[in-house]
Amino acid sequence: MKLGVFAVLFGDRSLEEALDIIAEQGLETVEIGTGGYPGDGHCRPAELLGNEAKLHAFKEAVSSRGLEISALSCHGNPLHPNSETASRHHQQFQDTVRLAEKLGVDTVITFSGCPGESEFSQFPAWVTCPWPEDHLEVLKWQWEEKVIPYWKEQSEFLRQHGVRVAIEPHPGFVVYNTETALRLRAACGDNIGVNFDPSHLFWQNMDPIVGIKEIAKHGALYHFHAKDTNIDDQNTAANGVLDTKPYSDELHRSWIFRSIGYGHGEETWRKIISALQLVGYEGAISIEHEDSLMSVEEGFQKGVALLQNALIKDKVGEMWWA
């Protein structure tokens, strides 16, 4: 496994400045945003695809610092009921796949998307319970009429370009847990896998280690995000985990995203790293930062230190067992 980072952490800096920071920390990989919700501040696929000189300069900026690209990420909602949004995110996804092929990057990361409740919707509708029965009718329509047809087409498109997609399970989209991720893969293609992010699973009361093993068993573990979540026991006891308060209302939320080690300690992260090793994962551990209580620089540095320590200890343990 190689330690890396999702470069959108440094979205306020140029690509070169961001890459310098990453290399100086001794990391080996970088995940680069190419559109969708993370934005394309460091990489605009359409521009690079149309200009060989810019494409070469982009590749050189990464390789000259001893880094490799673990994935291109365009987390979006190509199933959005707003046709303009859906079209933009779909185009960004397909341009990202084409760029990945050109760069020799085998993985593109995105969300599954979430349609509305019908052809007349204006906004996505995420179904979270089976009753009243209307919800199950909406869910059936979403999967059969929108989700499966779209991703079957994209699976074929991916195959034509020799690239795979890592869907990030995320509440608010139709793929939000292990079960729905594997359902999409089974229905649409074995080049559709998972970008595993424990932070979105912790607050759903899922065990990341169980999830890692189950997804790997199906050959679907393509990429890994390192991000933490802290559960507020008091707020959760009062209101549960389905929390629509803004992320900025940290004091009253049931949970918030935290820097690595500030939701779950090093022991938990060592167990996660060990689980990845046990299932034979050899890809990137890509640090992501969405901690509103800590600066990007502090969260990044502390996350790097904890994970470097966990990886070293795991490697020592591996040698001892060998």
Which amino acid, one-letter code, is at 119? E
pLDDT at 312 (0 to 100):
75
Give CA–CA dist 33/40, Å, rounded. 6
Eight-class DSSP state of 28: -
Q: How much is the pLDDT for 313? A: 67
Q: Which CATH architecture has domain 2-321?
A: Alpha-Beta Barrel (3.20)
Positive or negative: CA dihedral 308, 310, 311, 317: positive
In this prediction, residue 321 carries a pLDDT of 39
Read off the pLDDT of residues 199-226 as tens digits, 9 standing for 90 and up. 999 999 999 999 999 999 999 999 999 9
Residue 21 near residue 10, CB atoms below 8 Å: yes
Cβ 8 vs Cβ 39: under 8 Å? yes
User: If you search the block for the tokens 């759903």, which residue do you land on?
Assistant: 204
Band of the pLDDT at 316, cuts 50, 70, 90? low
More confident call, 322 vs 281: 281
Residues whose CB falls within 8 Å of the CB of residue 5, separated by 6 or more in sequence, listed in order? 22, 25, 27, 29, 30, 31, 286, 287, 288, 300, 304
pTM (2 decimals)? 0.96
Is residue 190 within 8 A of residue 152, CB to CB? The reply is: no
Residue 236 has pLDDT above 80, yes or no: yes
Average pLDDT for the chain: 96
Domain ranges of the chain: 2-321
Mean pLDDT of 280-304: 96
Identify residue 269 by its one-letter amino acid code. Answer: W
For residue 314, the model assigns a pLDDT of 63
